């Protein structure tokens, strides 16, 4: 099956710093990638939809200047949490969808971000 990786799996940073999370589709090309955030004991909340070569579409309430998304190629999307604060601590999960016409999303293993 299609494999999606995320790097790093865990990151601890100081408040005020920026953190970049990578999401890669390893064996397929993904025109669309999605970024989710999951707080403890809660469901996944879609943050943004990332299309290769264009600007990401952010969900209501998600600050685009704080959560920078770049989808530079068909196999890589990055999420940068800028000026991180403790309330940004969460589990961030990406998913990738095969080229248009296929309906399944494949999820990465997630990145645990802890901001001190």
**By the criterion CB under 8 A, which residues form the site for other proteins?**
4, 6, 32, 34, 42-46, 49, 91, 93, 95, 97, 103-110, 112
Half-sphere exposure of 53 (CA within 13 A, CB side): 3
- Minimum Å distance from CB 70 to other proteins? 20
Burial (0-12, 13-18, 19+ Cβ within 10 Å), 99: exposed
- C-beta closer to other proteins: residue 49 or 70: 49
Q: What is the phi/psi pair of residue 96, to 5°?
A: -130, 140
- C-beta closer to other proteins: residue 46 or 82: 46
- Minimum Å distance from CB 109 to other proteins? 4
Pick the closest to residue 75 from 14, 115, 23 (CA basis). 23
Bridge pairing between strands 19-25 and 76-81:
antiparallel
- C-beta closer to other proteins: residue 67 or 106: 106
- Minimum Å distance from CB 83 to other proteins? 26
- C-beta closer to other proteins: residue 24 or 97: 97
């Amino acid at each position: 099956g299609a494999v999606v990786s995320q790097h790093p799996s865990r990151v601890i940073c100081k408040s005020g710093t920026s953190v970049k999370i990578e999401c890669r589709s390893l064996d397929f090309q993904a025109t669309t990638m999605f970024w989710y955030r999951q707080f403890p004991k809660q469901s996944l909340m879609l943050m943004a939809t990332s299309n290769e070569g264009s600007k990401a579409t952010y969900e209501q309430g998600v600050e685009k200047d704080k959560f920078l998304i770049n989808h530079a190629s068909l196999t890589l999307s990055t999420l940068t949490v800028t000026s991180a604060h403790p309330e940004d601590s969460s589990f961030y999960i990406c998913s990738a969808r095969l080229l248009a016409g296929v309906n399944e999303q494949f999820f990465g293993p997630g990145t645990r971000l802890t901001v001190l």
